[in-house]
Each structure stands twice: as C-alpha cells, then as structure tokens.
Amino acid sequence: MRKNIDAGELARDSRFERRSAVERVSDIRNFNTETRRMDSQAIDLEERARRQMHGIFVGEIQALEGAGRTAFDFGTDEVPFELKLDMARQCWDEARHCEIAVVLNEHMGCEIGEHTEFTTLFEAACHDDPVFRLCGVNRALEGLAIDVFSNMRDLGEDMADPVMYFCEDWMLADEVTHVKMGSRWLREVTEDDPDRRAAALEFQKIVDRVFSLGGQRGETPESAIKLARQFREMAGFTTDEIDEIADIAADEAKRLAEMREAVGI
Ligand SMILES: [Fe+2]
Ligand SMILES: [Fe+2]
C-alpha cells in the first residue's frame, strides 16, 4: 500500500502558495520569515494575530490530511484498531477546526491564501513508522498547537474579541485530546520496544527544534508564544519533557539572535 504522497500533491486551489519543510528552514536561516512571525515589532497586534490565524488554518487542513493518512495507511497487523479509530475521530475534529478557522480568518479580515503555507506538518505525517507520526505530529506539532491556541485565546481576551476567544478555547480542548492520543499510543505500542520509543522521541525532538527555529516560542518575556505548561501536562507531557522543550526553544532563540547579530539584522 502506498504510504507516502508528496506534499506538493496535496489538493489546493490557486489561492495557496506552498513551501516545504526544507524551504522553511532555509527561509528562517535567511531571515525570510516576515510572513508568519508573531514577534515582529514592525506589525501591530491585530496583523500578527491575522498571520498566526492563517498559519493555524493551513495547519488544520494538514492535520486532517495527516490523520486521514494514518487511519488509512496501516493495517491492524501494524497498529491497534483503536489507534485507527482515534485517527478517524481526529479527522472529524480537524475538519471542524478547518471550518472554524475559515470563519475566524474571515472574522479577522484575512483572506485564504494571503500567507504562505508551510507543509511541514503533513511531511511529518508521512513517516513510514506510525509511532514516529504520532510523536512528530500529535506530540510535537499538536503540542505546539496547544501553546499557540492558548496564546491566541489570551490574545482574544487582550483584543476584547469574544469570537476569537471562544473559538480558540474550543480548539484548544480538542488539541489536548489529540496530544493525549499521541502520548497514549507511543506508550502502548512501544511498551516492549525501548529502542523504537527512544528513536520516535528523538524524531519528536527534531520536529520541536525545527519549529523553535524562528525563536518565537519559549518562556522568556520576549517569547511571542508561551509554553502552555498546564495544558501540556493534561495531555501527558512530563515536567522533564516540558523543561526539555523549553530548553530547545531557548537554545534556538539564542542561536537565531547570534545569527542575526552576525549579519547585522
Ligand atoms: Fe486542529
Ligand atoms: Fe489536532
């Protein structure tokens, strides 16, 4: 059975402009990140929120596509049937999130396709090993979604926007469930295979690092996206794991600041 399709083959209309994970890393290294950065001082709070919202919208589409692939790609000889059911349930949630995101984009004055779509989430969802998919997508990227939704929810409060606040709050609740699924299946499927578990967790760290490269996430006053510790704990992350994500984020923020200084930006 075919388990991978190229991210370039995902069904999109002419409004969308796509960039791959590799192109994303090179954009960040070349400081070509203006389209999505939340911490740019050059743009106001509402514009930052709009850009972030568009990123969430395309992330929801890819989360739906990724969970759909995982439900379909593996037989019950490879994964427990209940894992497939969880992925099917996640598809339903993500489809609902896509609809919410379309309405929220409209509500915030952002057009579909206005900003670049990075396909990193879908690419992480194409790994040959389902446990790696669950670590890369459900734990790393949807863990990030927990941080983002929690921040967007607070932003909704700061902007006195109850529509944004409640939409983000609902989606946050679902994302906690999705991360929890990842934590559960990582634990159960690799119960007797510590090497596979360690390798999957390593993959999760790589994805976390790639998504910390912009230096936006962390726990310092300058961090545009704060780590949502309480919700991450609810989703099955240990304190040590959250500390490690904070360290990776701080590391990457420092590295980016040094690179900026070196080239005088
Ligand atoms: Fe979602
Ligand atoms: Fe999700």
Out of 52-56, 93-97, 174-178, least confident range: 52-56
Which ligand is nearest the CA of 141, by number?
2
Per-residue confidence (pLDDT) for residue 81, from 0 to 100:
97
Tell me the β-bridge partners of 217.
225
Per-residue confidence (pLDDT) for residue 32, from 0 to 100:
61
What H or E segment, with its residue span, contains residue 18?
strand 18-19
- 67/59 Cα distance (integer angstroms): 12
Please name the amino acid found at residue 32: N
Average pLDDT over the chain, rounded to an integer: 87
Q: 3-class DSSP state for residue 228?
A: coil
What H or E segment, with its residue span, contains residue 207?
helix 194-210
Beta strands in 128-255 (DSSP E): 217-218, 225-226
For residue 36, name the pLDDT band (cuts at 50, 70, 90): very low
Query: For residue 186, how far is its CA from the centre of ligand 1 (angstroms)?
Result: 20
For residue 25, name the pLDDT band (cuts at 50, 70, 90): low
- 55/40 Cα distance (integer angstroms): 15
Residue % of the chain over a pLDDT of 70 = 88
- 50/82 Cα distance (integer angstroms): 37
Query: For residue 90, how far is its CA from the centre of ligand 2 (angstroms)?
Result: 7
Query: For residue 30, how far is its CA from the centre of ligand 2 (angstroms)?
Result: 30
Out of 18-22, 95-99, 195-199, 207-211, least confident range: 18-22
- The contacts of residue 21 (CB under 8 Å, 6+ apart) are 118, 119, 120, 123, 124, 210
Per-residue confidence (pLDDT) for residue 37, from 0 to 100:
46
Angle 73-21-184 (CA atoms, 0-180°, nearest 5)?
Answer: 45
For residue 29, name the pLDDT band (cuts at 50, 70, 90): low
Query: For residue 64, how far is its CA from the centre of ligand 1 (angstroms)?
Result: 8
Hey, where are the domains in the chain?
43-263
Average pLDDT rounded to a whole number, residues 236-241: 94
Model-level pTM?
A: 0.86
For residue 23, name the pLDDT band (cuts at 50, 70, 90): confident
CATH 1.10.620.20 fits 43-263, yes or no: yes
Query: For residue 166, how far is its CA from the centre of ligand 2 (angstroms)?
Result: 17
